[in-house]
A and B are shown apart, each in its own frame.
Chain A
Amino acid sequence: GAVVSQHPSWVICKSGTSVKIECRSLDFQATTMFWYRQFPKQSLMLMATSNEGSKATYEQGVEKDKFLINHASLTLSTLTVTSAHPEDSSFYICSATPSSGTDTQYFGPGTRLTVL
């Protein structure tokens, strides 16, 4: 089946630093990837839609300069949290939709970010 990986699975950083999270589709190509944020025992909040070869589409209220998204290839999207602050601590999940036409989303395992 389709597999999506994320790296790292967890990261702890100091306030003010930047953190990059990778999302890879391992056995399929994904024109579109999505980045979500999940708070404890809460739902997934869509942050942005990552489109290969073009700019990401951000949801209302999400700062595009703070959450930089790059989708450089059909198998890799990266989310960089710039100048991270404690309030950015969260669980970040990506999903990928195969370019083959199905609209099924395959989710990564998530990345736990803790900003001290």
Chain B
Amino acid sequence: AQRVTQPEKLLSVFKGAPVELKCNYSYSGSPELFWYVQYSRQRLQLLLRHISRESIKGFTADLNKGETSFHLKKPFAQEEDSAMYYCALLKSGAGKSTFGDGTTLTVKP
């Protein structure tokens, strides 16, 4: 069965510092991974997906199949990045995703 693990429930960094939110997965098939973000009092929204290999709001994530990881990174965190971040794995063919437990990122001024 597929599983997504986000080892850190809480992460706190200072503004301007680099940030990395960890995500590890287990899946026997070819993984398709996503990062979703939920800002305070807002709905969950897609941040980025690995197949598009794009940078959104300065965030990037690289799929490392050897380490089965999809860590989210940003070189210089901003206060507005404070939010809940979820890593998710899409089960191919089924259309449904498995979510990690989420990491609450707090960027302090």
Q: Give chain A's interface residues, CB within 8 Å of chain B.
A: 32, 34, 41-44, 46, 49, 93, 95, 97, 103-110
A43 touches which of B32, B45, B86, B95 (Cβ 8 Å): B86
Residues of B within 8 A of A41 (CB): 9, 102, 104
Task: Tell me how far the C-beta of B83 lies from the nearest C-beta in chain A, rounded to whole angstroms.
Answer: 13
Please indicate which of the listed interface residues B42, B43, B45, B94 has the most CB atoms of chain A within 10 Å of its own CB.
B43
Q: Is the Cβ of A44 less than 8 Å from the Cβ of B99?
A: yes
Residues of B within 8 A of A32 (CB): 95
Between A and B, 7 residue pairs with Cβ closer than 8 Å are A42-B102, A43-B86, A43-B100, A46-B96, A103-B32, A107-B43, A108-B43
Q: Is B62 an interface residue (CB 8 A)?
A: no
Residues of B within 8 A of A42 (CB): 101-102
Q: Is the Cβ of B95 less than 8 Å from the Cβ of A93?
A: no
Residues of B within 8 A of A97 (CB): 95
Residues of A within 8 A of B90 (CB): 103
Q: Is the Cβ of A105 less than 8 Å from the Cβ of B97?
A: yes
Residues of A within 8 A of B44 (CB): 44, 93, 95, 107
Q: Is the Cβ of B102 less than 8 Å from the Cβ of A43?
A: yes
Question: Residues 64-106 of chain B: 1 if any A CB is under 8 Å from the residue's CB, otherwise 0?
Answer: 0000000000000000000000100010001111111110100
Q: Is the Cβ of B43 less than 8 Å from the Cβ of A43?
A: no
Task: Tell me how far the C-beta of B92 lies from the nearest C-beta in chain A, rounded to whole angstroms.
Answer: 9
Task: Tell me how far the C-beta of B52 lies from the nearest C-beta in chain A, rounded to whole angstroms.
Answer: 10
Given A32-B95, A105-B97, also A44-B46 (CB < 8 A): no
Residues of A within 8 A of B32 (CB): 103
Residues of A within 8 A of B43 (CB): 93, 107-110
